[in-house]
Amino acid sequence: MKVIIVGGVAGGASAAARIRRLDEQAEIIVFERSGYVSYANCGLPYYIGGVITDPAELTLQTPESFFSRFRIDVRVRHEVTDIDTAAKTVTVKKLDSGEVFTERYDKLLLSPGAKPTLPPLAGVEGERIFTLRTVEDTFRIREFVEKNAPKSAVLAGGGFIGLEMAENLRELGLTVTIVQRPRQVMAPLDADMAVQLHKTLERHGVALRLGSSVEGFVHENGEVVTLLKDEEPLRSDMVILAIGVTPDSSLAKKAGLQLGQKGSIVVNDRMETSAPDVYAVGDAVEVRHFVTGKPSLISLAGPANKQGRIAADNICGGNSRFGGSQGSSVLKLFELTAAVTGINEKTAQAAGIDYEKVVLFPASHATYYPGAKTMTMKVLFERETLRLLGAQIVGYEGVDKRIDVLATAIRLGAKATDLTELDLAYAPPYSSAKDPVNMAGFMIENIATGKVKQFHWHDVPALPRDGSVQLLDTRTVWEYSRGHAEGFVNIPVDELRERLGELDKGKPVYIMCQSGLRSYISSRILTNLGFDCYNFSGGYGFYAMVTSDRMICESSYPCGLEKK
């Protein structure tokens, strides 16, 4: 059996090694357009920033090591330009010499990845404007930085690459501005969860121009002028385009393969394309979202590697299936960590899912052990079935651990209330006896059993201030004096039983505290005494943080916040 693989990163390299492990006799040829194979895309920004100092660390395998270990023929600087699915041949161009030849295959695997989206803007091809996809791109940016010592950079885009580049360029001492049309960074997060990233970026000197549209570039006097719609232009020494990626599917399109959204390659759960004996994996393919069941584009290394393994199994006569991607990912941003899995509120709303959410602020480990830090956790679940839909966590230590537990629970079909039963490791330096994941489960269980009714930060402005409902803040007098939501009256939780006469049992009570704990205790006290209570999700700390972000308030909801 002769197998040709187009693309030698992530999915392609993973498939090649797996095929060899399954079939010692197979002839395996990998054609890679760049000069490197099996390199660590996710590490590229950290080489530019000097965190990774040895460029050899970016390359997991070389053509020589692939051949030595697996007897796989890896040919870099070889671009496959055409596929004839009827004749089962590919046309290949040697980029160094220009020579063109054809190669026959029994099985063909496409792993072309995704390319940075390059908008059709004037001046976008300038020598001081960069994209980041390959090792060569990385070397080009680092060489520019070392040679020209730029003092400023504009990053068009606030996704994973844009944020990682912002951190690394700031660590090199550059002034950095992030510009993008969306009013929040890191789209997998909901806007209210992205606020902490905005504040962290600004605290580290990264300027944010969110809600701004780039209209073109002008190159003058050794600078790039970034033109913005209806705003003053930005001047910088360099620009990095990180506005997203597009499936690199031009080869598949020429071959007549079925394409999906944004030109992605359509595959089934065996990673088979519409053409016989042609498979495709990685960022170029359309996959089923594990939570929604809908076709999705999820450009992440983990799914690409799994898909490569599955395709390899099937190429070798197996029957492996890809169950879909749920988009589990994590980001380091200076001292902060942000992680997601499953779907967010925007996606749930677009899919028409009737969902509910809990927001909590657990500590990374037992608070009596030194160094505990708070994380912000949001967990989404389907209201009727209690099916777990997704989770978002922003914090410091322990974020990755909790998102992985929640990702596993989603994958295994756990109900949100099953989180209460998870038997998770505990010692004071690492967790609490009630782990944050357990705490999320307890909160959801209270909602599911009717013990707690909730309201959220975006509900606050619409609450009546005419006396028909009672708005109660159960923090201390000192906390309340430093800031509170408009119309909320202060009765500290420890005085509540003695001051019941100030409340009307015939009117609903909406209760807020700093984090949601004291308001929950207050709601249980009052509910047991016959009051109709609603507990505020996330607490005043979350409310104040979200409503202090101008972009969130302008784009989503009016903000009702009083500071004394």
| Distance in angstroms (rounded) separating the CA atoms of residues 437 and 154 | 38
The Cα–Cα gap between 503 and 37 comes to: 69
Question: What span, in angstroms and rounded, lies between the C-alpha atoms of 82 and 79?
Answer: 9
* Torsion sign, CA atoms 185, 187, 188, 189: positive
Question: What is the CB neighbour count within 10 angstroms for residue 277?
Answer: 15
Q: Which of 42, 533, 553, 559 is catalytic?
A: 42
The C-alpha atoms of residue 272 and residue 404 are separated, in whole angstroms, by: 29
Q: What are phi and psi of 17, to 5 degrees?
A: -65, -40
* Cα(513)–Cα(511) distance, integer angstroms: 7
User: Which burial class, exposed, middle or buried, applies to 342 when counting CB atoms under 10 A from its CB (0-12, 13-18, 19+)?
Assistant: buried
H or E element in which residue 246 lies: strand 245-247
- In sequence order, what are the beta bridge partners of 246? 115
CA distance 148 to 141: 10
Residue 67 host element (H or E): helix 63-70
Q: Report which DSSP code applies to 264.
A: P
DSSP SS3 for 70? helix
Assigned token pair, 476? 């201390």
Residues forming beta bridges with residue 328, ordered by sequence position: none
Please give the structure tokens belonging to residue 167.
């951190």
SS3 21: helix
Question: 3-class DSSP state for residue 324?
Answer: coil
**Token pair in block for residue 334:** 């200076």
42 is a catalytic site residue: yes
Cβ(449)–Cβ(442) under 8 Å? no
Q: Enumerate the β-bridge partners of residue 392.
A: 340, 378
* Amino acid type, 429: P
Look at the chain and count its residues: 564
* H runs (alpha helix) in 240-383: 250-254, 301-315, 345-350
Is the C-alpha dihedral spanning 409, 412, 413, 419 positive or negative?
Answer: negative
Q: Which residues contact 92 (CB under 8 A, 6 or more apart)?
A: 31, 78, 79, 80, 81, 100, 101, 102, 103
Catalytic residues: 42
